[in-house]
Structure 1
């Protein structure tokens, strides 16, 4: 631009431009050729010399009905008097018709003699733009000076301030659009589509007017552009580009003309502002008349023709994402309708690489009804609808934790939503597998192995067709079974009751975590089961259970819910008598019957039960004649209504049936509970096991198995001297032992007293007689005379055998 202005200032001092007025030619003598015009004007000396040196004079003289834009000496470098020129260089400055300056008002597009044969065999004459506005006459970027008529050849010569710039071909221009004039910065999309995959060159797009809309108006994103450059998108791409191209070079000052685009769409082209604005239909250009060697470009800020931009469907987006194999599989399984309608309200989950062959069922499991925003935990309905056992479309579990979204607990969403029409597409980190069979679907982390084994042992895991209702399994976890304790022993011993309970856990019908309202369903054993949702809490036969989407298990035939409480059918009754049958409580039951307290087993009472063995070891059975004490013992082991709950809570005041006597509970760090008499000493018993009666009223009743009895002697009134209550046989044995001990003591005293008297022979002699050597020891070197030294002298005189004389040789 600055170069143009500087040239303008210089030429303004030398020449006068023509603006719709007659050129002064009265002083120019008649000439016959263009060469004569150049020769008669010193300002053309360099171009004349260049033509002579390039042997182009004859070529120039042969031309007729042309306009020669002859470069002035100013156009040449200062240190050069001529240039080597080719015929094409000259042809680029030759307009194929004589142009009078009076006829150029505003902008006009003309054709030169230079033929561009790069793409089309027949060639295209390169266009040139003449701009005669604002007291300035321009040919492309060069300033035009005086006009000289060549009357003999009906031609015109103009002086120009510079050589005309070489224009790029359309294909080269679009290929280098990123480096083009900044005015094209917001018009890149259509331009790049022309150059991608050599679209322009392979179709020999030339002699064309390009009507280029802005990127914002086209609105193609990266996925759509990628699709248009695939083999499958070629048809859409061709129609899009041909809708923005018109055969021929239309620009400058135009009379309204009706023509067609290369896509055979009718279009009306006109101009205003002296040809500086090209209108298509009723849309004006934002920039126009950008010349190429074989075309012209006009820019617009809106789409010119309706339906010129392709309608994008899920299929096209999948192709744009590079998921051709998924599209092929959908077509193979005749599921094309899922991706050919942009108005379908759905969500599709895809992986970045899906080359494996998918089954029809697996493909359908990746399609979900509705547009998913992932703003909460929820169950989604997929388009996999089994016609066998599961009579509805399979579900897909969504859990949102912070910014992380998981599907079925182990597949994670890895991309924002990709929207096409009413369809959302999400990337996931791995393929979504169909729900597994029940045994494989339940995770070990849910701790339901015992329930699964019991269901398997009782043959309840064969989910057959149930008229499309599907199955719901309420699956007790390890805590639920552990909490039963003695009840579980009873169930193991009564398989019929166990079967009734297990069958109650499997329901014909589907109950998901989002269940609302109430329903009566049939269990696997054809028993009714009441299900009701109240304030997000699920009640099964009146028992509250916690179900959540997090622990919910989807399997091929339905849904499973791990629960922490075992749900019993109304027909199952496990009372205190049944629980007593599971422990060693015969002696305790015998005491209750003796005292006629056994009727309390069927009322709202709980019992602390010592084993029969411990009662026998503590000789409690010997108290049968002492009914008063025995009743005191029994009542101390019976808890009134509410007492069992206090023990479970390990309360420090637990009432008993014994008046004004309470028990106190203490829990060890190991979790074991210890019971003691609150109004007694500090003796304790250990709670070994417990069992709560089932369906026997609103009050919790049951039994507590303890390691020993709660002794009535531990009460406060029994503190002080220890009183032994021993049976008669034990007392008799004690008397006998006492008499024996007394006799032994008397004998010892007698022996001691007799030993101090003179020894006598016979029956009154002591069993052991002191030897005189022992009574009167003498030195070993002076034995008594005439007495033999012998061991027999120390031996008892009452021995039945004589001693052996060890001194004899």
Structure 2
């Protein structure tokens, strides 16, 4: 309430009553000398009123008044008025002991001048000044009231007004600006020495606060509909308020969407803005009789109202003043026929559209996290993904974060995208940047995957669009700088990489490996990270011994380095991997990954370490996370920081007995993947740069041997171990010799499918040092290995089944361990086998020689012992000669 300083006002000329100076109303001197109180006392119809005046302590006031007018309700009128009747019947029912409310109402029936002209004879409507000075009475006053009303009020220190007129020869008081309504002046005027009394048929109701006035005005039903408690409180608590309120028909000037918005629970700011455009607060209330011919009023909004009075008509900023001067206790209400809204003051924002199109729950959530600027900014271009009320209702009890929470704020920001993305601009597979800025992206914007499917088979080609997996319901709408799509479900922003990959069963083995380490919580929050997660089959493709080593509790450091080698330092979405210029990517492990783009559009990744030919196929999948993105791999990759030597692989095979044998035999350098000691026989034999594949019998294969006796004889032990050591050529497994996905040749120390023969470390000193691999006939991809040319008893000691294998990364990434189910004991043939063959060959040779010479002798002998003779009589030719 704003009360201005008291304005000097002479209410009454309190002078001594003099019968000689009074105007005689009739010839009866007794009547001329009676006061207003006497008039009431002499008429039984005013007994109730007189009692109320006594309770309100106004009898002295009436006696002090001179030249006043009292509109006196009759007893019947008071019986029909709740407050006045209660004051008579239940004195203690009044709110305060001073009866201030009753006093104010009684003052509204008093004028500080006498209306001597018979109201029935009035030809025009007359406005009267009462002695009621309205004020805020909450809380009720505690001080005794003054005899006379103090000219301080919520009407700019002016008293409340009252109209009186005549209709059809009947006087009416309390009428409206058009002379309608009001209360009939039922009893004729009675004059007293200090005023006049008019008997009226009902109690004059004191004008209430403007809020109540508005609520009872039939032509303001729309404003009553949209009125909020906070705005009502502003109206009721403001003094000297002049309100120009548009009637119902004026609101039809607004767009239907705007009206629907104003009717929502979120339009309080706009409603208050509209109210301020129609409100004038000055030091005095601007009743219509204060306008003059022209007046310029400044509203609370800051706009100007031009009031023009011409030819009995009043206009306000060009619109007709349809009804002036509806009185209220803290101001006055004027009804106008149009809205007094300056051009551009109200705009159709996206929020108003969303509210009108059944997205009220969505807007409510936005208000709860103070993101209203995203739906009220008409200058910035935005694309909004909005779920309607029926969609959000499905997630009301479960699935939505708590209102006002940071989690909800992140979720809602993920529904807004800078830019005006109409369907024509969307491309399948594109990533749209949202307004959500993630700490895990170093403050960068989170993106959303867009799917676009063009259906050209129909008569009218259409586009089916999905945002982050959510479909589009109905048609999109364009609101100036904003595009709105109505989606089939709310969208949750990406979570941490491990949680993102968790639903994919194909990636569960790698995730289980991650959770088994101490870095799981660390890598969740690594900013700007690209995860390359291999499929479950990758562990099997890696080789059982390598897989078992990495997953062993004692190998956490190696496993953590492998995991970190699968995290690229930076965000690489599919587009940059497929079409980007980069071919080398730094990882959080510290070394790089190499990317190769094949002619068939395949992407092949090579690690910094591992063995020769170790590669993995990259499948760009754009699984978004709060710190970056996830892609999938076909195989696990080993960095150069992870050294897989023969010793580690043997530990993974749990071959502790064979490890002890190799160490005891002096081959510990093979376990470590290092060169033999300088000066040793192996170094002198040129084995310094060799890689080795160890045929490793399991502990079960060795439990039937007397290991104590075996370990005591170093020569036998060394020969035994040498039988299991295969010198592996660096060319085995070189990149390019095998297909990327040739699992056997990629992860095995030796190409078993070639079924080749190999020299062992024992071969230089034994004719039976070589070994040979063969495929089993009964099972596919099952192999056996045996000593070449061995002739054991039923071959039980000369061959073994191949169980598992693992490839080492030392020695250029060749060699490793192949576990077998039986120890290959160096072959020493028995004497009959050892000597029978050479004896048989010698004897056969001697016999062959003897037989040769015997045959030669026989032929020779036959030639030299055969008889020679001459025919009798000599040769025929000689005989013929003689005859001649």
TM class by smaller structure: 0.3 to 0.5
Normalised by the length of structure 2, the TM-score is 0.40
With structure 1 as the length reference, what TM-score do the two structures score? 0.43
